[in-house]
């Protein structure tokens, strides 16, 4: 029986990047249909941008990211990053790919790898177009689609749905009404998918 998981994430979240492959593999293994919702930190639910955290928490956050990146086999460039623009507009490429029935997972993978492993400025439309084109997608078509009403409407609606679903940080997964926050909660999500509801 096919199961459905709502996946809330942010292109600009290193935790979303670190846990992405583990989640998509889990979904494939458990016959899960994934519905993506892209947004940014939901501050009204208590989400906090890393730049607004005390330095001692930021230092721990950085160490923990590095530990998890090694566990997940991800290259994460946190130091000596150039000044990059807001990566959130790259979400529109992913939304366009999803709405058009394309491989949105591949688009996410290309954009997040470029941003987190290579420190490329995916907030700039020409750069993200080149990145997805190099990954085998029609970057020019995705660039054209990002301004379309259905793409913009989903971007706006995704934030509302995240807020109303109790999401505050990324990645978050909702299955059968149960919210799981953080890629470190994937084992609990998998147990639930296999019948062990908390």
Structure tokens at 93: 């490429």
**Radius of gyration (Cα) for the chain, nearest Å?**
16
CB within 8 Å of 48: residues ≥ 6 apart:
41
Alpha carbons within 13 A on the beta-carbon side of 182: 8
Please tell me what DSSP assigns to residue 86: -
Catalytic residue status for 165: no
Question: Which residue in 4, 10, 13, 91 is the catalytic one?
Answer: 13
- Percent composition of the chain: helix, strand, coil (DSSP 3-state, to 5): 55, 10, 35
CB within 8 Å of 121: residues ≥ 6 apart:
82, 84, 85, 127
Residues assigned a catalytic role: 13
């Amino acid at each position: 029986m096919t199961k459905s998981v709502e996946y809330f994430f942010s292109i600009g979240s290193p935790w979303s990047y670190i846990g992405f492959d583990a989640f998509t593999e889990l979904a494939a293994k458990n016959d899960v249909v994934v519905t993506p919702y892209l947004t940014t930190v939901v501050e009204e639910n208590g989400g906090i941008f890393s730049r607004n955290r005390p330095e001692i928490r930021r230092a721990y956050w950085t160490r923990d990211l590095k530990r998890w990146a090694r566990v997940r086999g991800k290259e994460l460039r946190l130091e000596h990053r150039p000044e990059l623009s807001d990566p959130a507009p790259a979400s529109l490429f992913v939304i366009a790919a999803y709405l058009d029935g394309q491989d949105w997972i591949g688009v996410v993978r290309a954009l997040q790898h470029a941003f987190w492993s290579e420190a490329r400025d995916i907030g700039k439309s020409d750069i993200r177009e080149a990145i997805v084109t190099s990954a085998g997608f029609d970057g020019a078509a995705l660039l054209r689609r990002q301004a379309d009403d259905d793409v913009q409407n989903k971007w706006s609606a995704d934030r509302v749905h995240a807020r109303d679903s109790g999401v505050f940080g990324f990645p978050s997964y909702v299955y059968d009404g149960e919210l799981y926050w953080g890629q470190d909660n994937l084992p609990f999500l998998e147990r639930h998918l296999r019948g062990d509801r908390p």
